[in-house]
A and B are shown apart, each in its own frame.
Chain A
Amino acid sequence: MEPIRANEISDIIRQQIENFETGVTVTEIGTVIKVGDGIAEVHGLEKVMAGELLDFPHEVRGLALNLEEDKVGVVLFGEFQKVMEGDLVRRTGRIMEVPVGDALIGRVVNALGQPLDERGAILTDTFNPIERIAPGVVDRQPVKEPLQTGLKAIDAMVPIGRGQRELIIGDRQTGKTAVALDTILNQKGKDVICIYVAIGQKASTVAQVAKTLQDNDAMDYSIIVNASASDPAAMQYLAPYAGAAIGEYFRDTGRHVLTIYDDLSKHAAAYREISLLLRRPPGREAFPGDVFYLHSRLLERASKLSDAKGAGSLTSLPIIETQAGDISAYIPTNVISITDGQIFLEADLFNAGIRPAINVGNSVSRVGGSAQIKAMKSVAGTLRLDLAQYRELAAFAQFGSDLDKATQAQLARGQRLTEILKQPQYAPMDVQKQVLIIWAATNGFTDDIAVEDLRRFETDLLRFVENSHPGLLHSIAEKKTLTDEIKNDLKQVLTDFKDQWGETTVVNARPTASAAAV
């Protein structure tokens, strides 16, 4: 660095002062008449707008939420303990907004867009308002491109499309965040910017998420918006809207965005806290009357824009935590009815070792099917049918073992399909590989393999195909449909592999191998 002389510095300062235009500043001010619990009541500010940003002393900011006859109800951000009765409040004339732009990618920010990582200021001069009306009907087009989660169970049976809103719902400790994280990891190299919004989470959990993303090189295309449990309720209330506003910038510039709101139950609780402190009347479960609108206006911002608008998309994966599987509580039912489907995770399945613990019967995707590639659609149809029959039979089969052959075969198929759909964490899988595995399972190639050997079979098969027949995976990915030619190839490859694999199994002399099969 070149040394700068002291008089150079004073020259620069002198210039600044000489260029300073003296003039009268016109501001509108009010006085704090009451403050407490992160809420202030302000007298004055007659022309203040709803949702306007207000300046308090000590660098505290506020958001005008209640405009009343002779006072304004404000929620405070920052160190609101410093605000005192009688303090002057200034209007800023700006509706609440966050910085947006490419500079945010890879960063961890709070609900106001201020950096939380120690990587310096975020240099951007673009701002988006936090609350924005969602695109209208004319500006949208139907969801048509897939957003691959990399999880076999989801991509096959509850497919998600770009621009869709798919709820992830389940009890605590059922792997909701894991599903979301795997989805982020799978977007590597797919031109999707991922925004993970943590609302009311433990700071340690968020740190863990950030580390996972970093370790898997996923921060290169991700943004974390964090309002952890220690942040004021106002921050937690704003966080998902800030995340959506940041995402909208990328969507409106023709790119694809995935936002994850983790989780909206805590968001609703934060909003309830603010509402009660602002003396808005409570309703069911003490939530205010507009708690439905709170979430519907947020999730409505997920969209697939028309070609005229740049064809960008914003996909949302809201997360809801249920208590003891109760999906008929107020907030879960609300969000289920807003979203285009749900992925239902169950503690029983999780404990039975079925991970991801997706309840296939209760999980649906209302629009994603049209986004699925043809190849996946064709294998998933059989998969869904087989699993449904298996579930029905399994309930009966528990009563006795005297079953005919067809039933036994169906049970065996179901067990193998369930096993095939299991997947370890942080190991998302490309769609062509998913097609390969599921095709093998639904066409009976796994029926003679013991259930406990299936995972090994799967990894060995994938390695075999990758090494010996990479063209097969390529042609599935390219053609996106299972032509007769590809089907024949699949048959051939699988038969070859099974011959070879069977031999190695015999050589290894595993006692459980074929003896247990069928």
Chain B
Amino acid sequence: MSVQSMARRYAAALANVVMAHGEAREVQEELSAWESMMTGSSDLIEVFRNPTIPYDQKRNVLSTLVARARVRPTTANFLQVLLRNQRLLDLGEINKRFARELDDRSGVVVAQVTTARDVPSSLQDGLRERLSNLTGRRVRLQFTVDEDLIGGVTTRIGSTVYDGSVRTQLQQIRQRIAGEQ
């Protein structure tokens, strides 16, 4: 099974649990913190990756860390399940899926907005409103700056791209003039 479909299943299962307990945000934060701790420590990754270390030892390491970090029981249990199923190293992918799953369930879409310059916050609200009208859902904006666009704005929601950048318009003009003659 591909990593993506595996991640989707774990994310959906976890989402079911946390929605029932009403602790979605907390668990999500704890898991991201855990992920950054793991990526920050190569020793820790080595311990979990190394197949010559017996499962019991790995579990002890994880239990100690969990006790030390004082995470919620849901988070701790989830990590233990991942360890037992040898999926702990795929936590990054699962976290990404989990965030999207939570967004889907609460009716939020993520829009990646790319502009040539920083967008002032007054414009951000207007953009958010227009995008929610367009999609019919609440929109969370993520901004990136790419000077190659020259001007204008491109927005990507899921796999749909709304491209209003000057760069694309120039390309279209070029195609039109070069293509017709």
Contact = CB atoms under 8 A, between A and B. Distances in A.
A25 interface: yes
A17 B173 contact: yes
B160 interface: yes
B163 A24 contact: yes
Contact of B176 (A20, A27, A46, A70): A20
A25 to B, nearest CB: 5
A70 B97 CA distance: 12
Nearest to B156: A29
A45 B159 contact: yes
Contacts of A16: 173, 176-177
Contacts of A69: 5
Contact of A27 (B2, B5, B8, B161): B161
A39 to B, nearest CB: 16
B55 interface: no
Interface residues of B, number: 18
A45 B158 CA distance: 9
B160 A20 contact: no
B146 to A, nearest CB: 13
A331 to B, nearest CB: 33
Interface in B118-174: 156, 158-164, 168-169, 172-173
Interface string A7-40: 0000001001100101111111110000000000
The 9 closest A-B pairs by CB, nearest first: A44-B159, A24-B164, A70-B4, A25-B163, A28-B159, A28-B160, A46-B159, A27-B161, A29-B161
Contacts of B164: 22-25
A30 B5 contact: no
Contacts of B169: 20, 22
A20 B172 CA distance: 9
Given A17-B173, A70-B2, A70-B4, A26 B162 contact: yes
A2 to B, nearest CB: 16
Contact of A13 (B160, B161, B172, B177): B177
Contacts of B173: 16-17, 20
Nearest to B177: A16
A82 B162 CA distance: 26
A24 B162 contact: yes
A148 to B, nearest CB: 45
A27 B163 contact: yes
A138 B179 CA distance: 43
14 contacts: A20-B169, A20-B172, A22-B164, A25-B168, A26-B160, A29-B156, A29-B159, A30-B159, A45-B159, A46-B159, A69-B5, A70-B5, A70-B8, A71-B4
Interface of B: 2, 4-5, 8, 156, 158-164, 168-169, 172-173, 176-177
Chain A interface size band reads: 20 to 34
A404 to B, nearest CB: 80
A47 B176 CA distance: 27
A117 B168 CA distance: 33
Interface string A205-217: 0000000000000
Contacts of B161: 26-29
Given A29-B156, A29-B160, A44-B158, 14 more contacts: A20-B169, A20-B173, A20-B176, A25-B164, A25-B172, A26-B160, A26-B163, A27-B163, A29-B159, A44-B159, A45-B159, A46-B158, A70-B2, A70-B4
B153 to A, nearest CB: 9
A134 B173 CA distance: 40
A13 B173 CA distance: 10
Contacts of A47: 159
Nearest to A42: B159
Contacts of B160: 26-29
B5 to A, nearest CB: 6
Interface string A55-76: 0000000000000011100000
A303 B168 CA distance: 46
Interface in A183-197: none
A310 B140 CA distance: 58
Contacts of B5: 69-70
A70 B96 CA distance: 14
Nearest to A23: B164
B173 to A, nearest CB: 5
Nearest to B153: A24
Contacts of A44: 158-159
Contacts of A22: 164, 169
A362 B180 CA distance: 56
Contacts of A24: 162-164
A125 to B, nearest CB: 13
Contacts of B159: 28-30, 44-47
A249 to B, nearest CB: 24
A23 B177 CA distance: 18
Contacts of B172: 20, 25
